[in-house]
Amino acid sequence: MPKTYPPSAKTAARAHITAENYGPMYEQSINDPDTFWGEHGKRVDWIKPYTKVKNTSFEPGKVDIKWFEDGTLNVSANCVDRHVETRGDQTAIIWEPDDPNTTESLHITYAELQVHVCKMANILQELGVGKGDRVVLYLPMIPEAAYAMLACARIGAIHSIVFAGFSADALGARINGSDAKVVVTADHAPRGGRSTPLKSNCDAALLHCKDSVKCLVVKRTGEQTTWTDRDYSYNDMRLEADDYQKPEEMNAEDPLFILYTSGSTGQPKGVVHSTGGYLVYASMTHQYTFDYHDGDIFWCTADVGWVTGHSYIVYGPLANGATTIMFEGVPTYPDAGRFWEVCAKHKVNQFYTAPTAIRALMGAGNEWVEKHDLSDLRLLGSVGEPINPEAWNWYNEVVGKGNCPIVDTFWQTETGGHMITPLPGATTLKPGAAQTPFFGVKPVVLDPQSGVEIHGNDVEGVLCISDSWPGQMRTVYGDHERFEKTYFGDYAGYYFSGDGCKRDEDGDYWVTGRVDDVINVSGHRMGTAEVESALVAHVAVAEAAVVGYPHDIKGQGIYAYVTLMNGQVPTPELRKELETWVRAEIGPIAKPDLIQWAPGLPKTRSGKIMRRILRKIAEDDFGSLGDTSTLADPSVVDDLIENRMNRN
C-alpha cells in the first residue's frame, strides 16, 4: 500500500472545505444543483440577479447548456471594480520579468488595474471593437495581456488568446477562424533569454487576413519593428485614452472568450466559455482547491495562452480579490533555481505548476531548491498531465518540506475549471491520483466498447461526466454540431473527456491519459492529426503518421513516421528541414522529437493506418504488437521495427 497523507491539523483548521463539510456539500451539489449553485452563484456580483439556475441538456441532438440564464453581470467589474472599493491599494498583479538582472518586477494595485483596464477598453473601442466582436491576443506574459483580457470583458468583446509560441500560420488561422477585428500583440516576447518577434509573426499572419483587421502593438522590448497602415501604438494611444469606462451589462450566457484547443480529428476547435457560469466556477475552484485566503500570494506558472492561465492567473484569482503572479520567464532561466527564487522573493503561499516542470527541476538537483527560503509556501498544485509518484514525492519532500498539501488537479480547456482534485483540508492525499470530484461534478466510468456505466470500485474504463457544471464550455465557436459530435457523440447522454481512468478500491479517481489521438507534450495538448497535416504539406512528404511515446521530462514526445514522395532521398538534412517546417507551420511545441523514415505504413485492407502498432513500435515495445493479420502488407512492420528510433 503506497503511503497516503491526511490533512495536517493546521491545514484542516484553516481550510474552507474540510472532511466534515465536503461530503454534505458535494451531495447537495449533485442532488439539488439548483439550491447549491443558486447559493454559490452569489459569490460574484450580479447587475440583475438570476432567478433561474440550471437549464442544461446532454440529450443527443439537443445538447444545450445554460446557467444563471436570466442574470446579468460584468466580469471586469467583478475582477476589478468591486475590489477597488474594498482593497484598492492591495496588489492585484505582481509581474515578474523574464530576466531579473535587467528588469524590475512590478506591483499593480487594484486601483491601478482599473485605470489600465479602462484605458485599454477605451483604446479597443476607438479601434472599432464593440459588444460581441472578437479580439485576438498574441502577447508575451506581460500585465497588458491581463489588461486586454479584462478590457474585452469590460466592453463585452470576446477575446481569443493565441499562445505566443504559435507560428504566424497558426495565428492567421485563428484570426480568420474567429473573424477578429483587432489583434493585440507586442514588439517582441523575451523568454528564457531569447526573444520571439511577435510583431513580425503578426505581420506575416495578417497577410492572409482581411485588410480591415487592425493591429494594436504593445511596446515590450522597444526593439525595432516594421510599421504598416493597420498598426496602432498602444503606448501612444494610452496617453490620450480616458481612464474610466463603464462596464457593459452582459448576460450570463454571453461568451466571455474563445480558446482554441486540439482534438483527435481535424484542426483545433474554438472552445467557447460563458460569462456567468465560467466566472462562478473559476473563482470557486480557485478559492477552494487552493484554499485561498485574503492576503495570500498566489502563483500559477502557466501562460495565459492556455486555459490554466485564463482561469488561475486572471479570472479566478482576480474575481477573489487575490494577489496573483504573472511570470514572463521559464523555470530554468537564468538558472534552475528561478521558480524557487521567485517564490522566496514574493513570499508565495500557493504555487501551481505542471509535472513536466517538476520533473525537469527534479533532474537539476535539490541544491537549486535548498538555496531559497520557501517557508511561506503552504500549498502546491499540479496540472496538465498525470504526475508520476516519483515527481510527487520530490515535490512534497524537497519543495514542500513535507508541510504542503499537493493538489493534483484534473481538468481541461473544455471544463473551465478543476473537475477532479483533492481539497487540501478534506482529502487524504494519494500520490499520482486526482482523487475526488469538485462540487457539481459527477464523474462516471464507462466501458469503452459498450458505453455502459461501470459501477462499484476497483474498476477501469473511460472518464465521462454525467451532468453539467457551471464552468462547462457552451459550444465550439461557429459549429455547435461539432461540439455535440466531439463531446457527446461517442457516449450518448454523457460528456466524454477523452481520458481513460480508474476508480480505485476507495472510490478515488486516477486519470490515466488520453484514449484518443491527442498527445500531451509537456502538458500541452497536441492533436496528432495537426502534426500529420503539417508534415504532408511539405513537398517531399507523401504520407505521415504521428504518435506519442514516453518521454522522461515532457511526459510524451512526438514520434513521426514519414513516407517520402517517390524519388526523395531520406537524409539528415531533410529530417532537420521537416522539423523546422513543422515549427513554422504550428510552432516550436509541435516539433517532432523523432522522425522515422517509413517506406510504408501499416494499414488495414480498407486503408486505415493502424496506430496501435505504430504506438507500440514508438514505445519500443514491439514484442506485444497484437494481431497484425488484418494488415494489407504485414512486412512493413518488420522494417519499422528494424529502424525504430527509440531504443530503451
CB 324 within 8 A of CB 317: yes
Q: Which of residues 430-449 bind ligand 6R9 (CB under 6 A)?
A: 434
**Residue among 157 and 354 whose Cβ is closer to ligand 6R9:** 354
554 has which bridge partners?
none
* 520: contact with ligand 6R9 by CB under 6 A: yes
Which residues, other chains included, contact 306 with Cβ-Cβ below 8 Å and sequence gap of 6+? Answer: 163, 413, 524
Q: CB nearest ligand 6R9: which residue?
A: 413
**Residue among 175 and 300 whose Cβ is closer to ligand 6R9:** 300
Write out the binding residues for Mg(2+). Answer: 536, 538, 541
* 497: contact with ligand 6R9 by CB under 6 A: yes
* 289: contact with ligand 6R9 by CB under 6 A: no
To the nearest whole angstrom, how small is the minimum distance from the Cβ of residue 361 to ligand 6R9? Answer: 18
CA gap 561, 307 in Å, rounded: 30
Which residue stretch of 105-113, 123-131, 164-172, 506-514 sits at the interface with ligand 6R9 (rule: CB under 6 A)? 506-514
* 463: contact with ligand 6R9 by CB under 6 A: no
* 410: contact with ligand 6R9 by CB under 6 A: yes
* 385: contact with ligand 6R9 by CB under 6 A: yes
- Of residues 121, 280, 380, 383, which one binds ligand 6R9 by CB under 6 A? 383
The residue with cell 462540487 is 439
**Residue among 122 and 468 whose Cβ is closer to ligand 6R9:** 468
Write out the binding residues. Answer: 191-194, 308, 384-386, 408-413, 499, 514, 522, 525, 536, 538, 541, 583
CA gap 254, 67 in Å, rounded: 11
Phi, psi of 222 (to 5 degrees): 80, 0
CB 462 within 8 A of CB 500: yes
CA gap 581, 514 in Å, rounded: 26
* 308: contact with ligand 6R9 by CB under 6 A: yes
The phi-psi region of residue 163 (left if phi > 0; otherwise alpha if psi is between -120 and 50; otherwise beta) is beta
Which residue stretch of 236-244, 382-390, 469-477, 540-548 sits at the interface with ligand 6R9 (rule: CB under 6 A)? 382-390
* 498: contact with ligand 6R9 by CB under 6 A: yes
**Residue among 373 and 390 whose Cβ is closer to ligand 6R9:** 390
Write out the binding residues for ATP. Answer: 384-386, 408-413, 499, 514, 525
CA gap 247, 287 in Å, rounded: 25
In 60-125, DSSP assigns E strands to 64-67, 72-73, 91-96, 106-109
- Of residues 285, 350, 353, 409, which one binds ligand 6R9 by CB under 6 A? 409
The CA-atom distances, in angstroms, between 193 and each of 190, 338, 400, 554 are 6, 13, 28, 21
CB 57 within 8 A of CB 51: no
CA gap 398, 194 in Å, rounded: 30
Concatenated DSSP letters for 237-278? HHHHS-S--PPPPEETTSEEEEEEE--SSSS-EEEEEESHHH
- Of residues 78, 283, 413, 596, which one binds ligand 6R9 by CB under 6 A? 413
Q: Which of residues 68-97 bind ligand 6R9 (CB under 6 A)?
A: none
* 590: contact with ligand 6R9 by CB under 6 A: no
* 589: contact with ligand 6R9 by CB under 6 A: no
Coil vs helix vs strand at 648:
coil
Write out the binding residues for CoA. Answer: 191-194, 308, 522, 583
* 187: contact with ligand 6R9 by CB under 6 A: no
Q: Which residues are at the interface with ligand 6R9 (CB under 6 A)? A: 261, 306-308, 383-386, 408-413, 434, 497-499, 511, 513-514, 520, 525
